[in-house]
Structure 1
Amino acid sequence: MKITVIGAGKSGLAAALLAKQKGFDVFLTEKKLSDECQEAFEVIQRENIDFEFGIHTSESLQNSDLVVTSPGVHPENEIIKLAERKNIRIISELEFAYNFLENPIIAITGTNGKTTTTTLTTFILNNSGKKAISAGNIGTPLSSLVDKIDKNTIVVVEASSFQLDRIEKFKPDVALILNISPDHLDYHSTMENYISAKWKIFLNQNEKDLLILNADDNELKKAAKQSRGKVAWFSLNPVDYGIFAKQGKMIARLSDNEEVIMLFDEIRIPGIHNAYNSMAAVLAARAFEIRNENIRDSLMAFQGVEHRLEFVRTINGVDYINDSKATNVNATWYALSSYKEPIIWIAGGRGDSNDYSLLDDIVIKNVKCIIAIGEETDNIFNHFSSMKRCFKESNLVNAVVRAKEQAQAGDVVLFTPACKSFDMFINYEHRGDIFKEIVKEL
């Protein structure tokens, strides 16, 4: 059987190596030049995998029985369209790896909060004596775990819409959808397509499986009607079955009785969005019979993930916070709502049909001034300049310097872009790292 792998990033390389390990005839095609993917290029050569760099040719699909595509490959890419015309089966790396795994799987998706909830769920499980590992969109391809971990290890998968879009049999024991708001429409074209991709996380589940949904998200109420598995809810309001907030307490209603898990104020990571993320992670952990005291200890100890409301340093009484992972308006809304102190907001990057009006109320309430950068500079400035003092800066260094000038003791300088990073940076991690370097040099 011949397998063509599209893309030499982490996922594509891991899929190619797994296919080779399993005895398939493998060909890898990558549009970037080899010197742009030097590490992958060296690995592919060492493993004697056939390849092409710098172009996708029709020869890469010659005699191919299966295409495994990387998450970043656009569905309108010519190599994808050619494979479709040839009626070659196309699946994602997530789907490919799933065929070789026997481990219990928790799969987590949603527009925002995936990485935090994936990391937190894994932390709770490990902190409670279980074996667990994070994988998927979080940075470790599922393919790289095949035959490398104990079969009892729980795999907590962060699943993006790109990865889910091309699954066929992928069936997690626990599926979790945090929220749905417009994102990645340049890839999915329509909101309907985006939602459809997210829904695939539970479509193969049966009555033995669990689907965890946000009861406060209207789109997710519709998902429950399509589920064949048991549905558990998390919410800021009481639910019939699940976890919810009541009088500042996290309450579990998973039987006839209500259990108090902990006070929300005891959760170490701040913000209403992290209250949601924590409730979701708790439900996933409870599915594996984790005790409440272990859950409580874990939530009190968990410090969050890099680039998400990450404290950098305090200068002259001003806290500097890195929230580079906020690549859309919804994520930034949660960030802006997480602080009681006046906020100096640094925003901007590459937009994705951003609707900044969704932030108007929280900006009026919590933001002191706004500093705009990147391709969205004019859009951000023009939208908010009538309600708050706004500045335009040509780069992130100037923006941080401007923020320092405007900030007073007791303020928070919050870098929460509400935009993608690709106009000025490699990715959101690179953007966040640069922000932290700038702040540390102030």
Structure 2
Amino acid sequence: MQVAGVRFTVVGAGRSGLAASNALATRGGDVRLVEARADATRPETLDPRVTFVAGTNLPRPGDVAVLSPGVAEVSPVRAEIAAVAAEVIGEVELFYRLSPAPILAITGTDGKSTTTTMLGAIAALANPSTFVGGNLGNPLCEGLDELTRSSLVIAEISCFQLTTCVDFRPRVAIVTNIAEDHLNYHGSFAAYQAAKRRVWAAMTASDTLILSADDPYIAAWERPSAPRIRTFSLANPDADAYFDGATLWLVRAGRNEALMRRDELPLLGGHNVANALAAALAADAWGIPLATAREALMAYAPLPHRLAPIATIDGVRWVNDSKATNANAAAAGIRAIDGPLLLLAGGSEKDADFTAFGALVRERTRVAVLFGQTRNSLASAIGASHNTIVVETLDEAVRAAQRLAEPGDTVLLGPACASFDQFKSYGHRGDVFTALVRDLAAASNPADDGASADAKIKSEGA
């Protein structure tokens, strides 16, 4: 991609916009970074060669526009930018055009981050020059200067990012699963699914696409003709990677080969078995030995805020699954918990349908404590026949759960919603929940100085 002497406007001064601006400036581009907020100030780490303008989203006429993923697909701003820009791309597309290294990409509704970091751990054992990034929180363009042709990139790619991909070609791509999500961003479930399918738009016959064989929405998709397709399943032995209830298997050169026993994978939930199968299948497609995948998966630790045990207090286990920002992810967390369950759920609106989730809550939980903007819509979906408590804040929800919980119960923060009604992010919500539980643990040992509560929390999450 020609950058030197070319004019670019990067739209949005978030972390990915900052990374894109700096990467372009380093390579000799004439770069302008714009931010819609009129009160925005110049980012401290912005390359001094970049011009910064607050109070607008519009590029200079004829510029290549690098669009923030925060601009919704349904937003009229997209059309306004396209009307004056020479081309509109996103940070992921920009990275693809500049990167010397091949990319293995992961998308889907849920399990993206876990599958990405699983595959990243496997790849790093095989190739120390592996970069893992993307929608995980570290933009791909931040890693550009570290990469060579011998490097390997493992990239989590969101539906937002895919809407601005044009030539983006991962050599291996995974679609973990599909469920209704981000309808307010895309305008419809059909548009959301179409965005996910863009991950394979530029793939060729020498590339490999990995799909869930268990997902009904993916099953209804028209399959692309170009990339090779391999599938994974929690039940179907005809898939290329499958689980028989005790062992994870890969089919290689027509032979079934054991990846690992279920008890060797240190993660809760069947959904994490599916994530491991997908990651191992992608590694195999890239030529990484099965033994390397096994070694990495056996040592894999859960990511923060994903079914992470915090503490057991007076016989009650507290688990943080704040990353469950939609009903499908929260349902997976509920199914991963054995024994009596108190669910803490709620958050900000995303135009979600909670009907099926409500039925699962009735079936699998003893009590549902609902908070946040969606508390009433969740209560309606669950129904008046179930033991449901409706409060306003997460703090109130934790205190209600403490009163209601009995020894042997698990209290699960499984919000089924985004966090932006009361928190900065799902991570912030999870941190607040962890701090609240830490306070409960300390209060249950009033003679201690807090060290024993900290030790208990650390041992539970190890």
Cα deviation, 1:270-294, whole Å, max 9, x if unaligned, reads 1011011110001111123333333
Residue 416 (structure 2) pairs with residue 418 (structure 1): yes
Match of 1:376 in 2: 374
For residue 446 of structure 2, what is the aligned residue in structure 1?
none
Q: How far has the Cα of 1:364 moved from its partner? A: 3.1
CA RMSD after TM alignment: 1.8
Identify which of 369, 387, 393 aligns with 2:385.
387
Q: Which amino acid is the alignment partner of residue 56 of structure 1?
A: T
Which residue of the partner structure matches residue 243 of structure 2? 245
What pairs up with 1:15-414 in 2 under 5 angstroms?
A: 15-33=20-38, 41-44=43-46, 47-53=48-54, 55-56=55-56, 60-86=58-84, 88-128=86-126, 130-223=128-221, 225-240=223-238, 242-414=240-412
Q: Which moved more, 1:226-235 or 1:347-356?
A: 347-356
Specify the code of the residue in structure 1 equivalent to 2:43: F
Counterpart-to-counterpart distance in 2, 1:48 and 1:215: 49
Query: Which moves more between the two structures, 174-183 or 82-91?
Result: 82-91
Distance of aligned partners of 1:209 and 1:247 in 2 relative to their CA distance in 1, 3 Å threshold: same
TM-score norm. by structure 2 comes to: 0.90
Kindly state the Cα deviation for residue 298 of structure 1 after the two structures are TM-superposed.
Answer: 2.1
Give the Cα–Cα distance (whole angstroms) in 2 for the partners of residues 236 and 385 of structure 1: 31
Q: Give, in whole Å, the separation in 2 of the partners of 1:370 and 1:266.
A: 32
How many angstroms apart in 1 are the aligned matches of 2:306 and 2:211?
22
| Other structure's SS at 2:44 match | helix
For residue 425 of structure 1, report the CA deviation from its aligned partner.
0.8
Does the C-alpha gap of structure 1 residues 289 and 76 become closer, same or farther in structure 2, counting only changes over 3 Å? closer
Residues 323-351 of structure 1 deviation map (CA, whole Å, 9 limit, x = unaligned): 11111110111011001121110000112
TM-aligned CA deviation for residue 224 of structure 1: 6.0
* Structure 1 residues 62 and 294: CA distance shift in structure 2, 3 A: closer
Structure 2 CA distance, aligned partners of 1:308 and 1:110?
16
Amino acid at match of 1:8: A
- Contiguous gaps of at least 5 residues in structure 2: 1-5, 441-462
Q: 2:12 maps to what in 1?
A: 7
3-state SS in 1 of match to 2:435: helix
Identity %: 33
Question: Unaligned 5+ residue runs, structure 1?
Answer: none
| Aligned-partner Cα distance in 2 for 1:259–1:337 | 28
Cα offset for 1:263? 1.6
Contact 1:224-1:231 within 8 A present in 2 as well:
no
CA deviation vs aligned residue, 1:361-400 (integer Å, no higher than 9, x gap): 4323321101111111111223324232111122111111
Decide which moves more: 96-105 or 171-180. 96-105
> SS of 1:268's equivalent?
coil
* Length-normalised TM-score, structure 1: 0.94
> What is the one-letter code of the residue matched to 2:34?
T
Once the two structures are superposed, residues 295-343 of structure 1 have per-residue CA deviations (whole angstroms, 9 ceiling, x without a partner) of 2222222111111111111111211111111111101110110011211
1:168–1:129 distance in 2 versus 1, CA, 3 Å: closer
Deviation at 1:185, TM superposition (A): 0.8
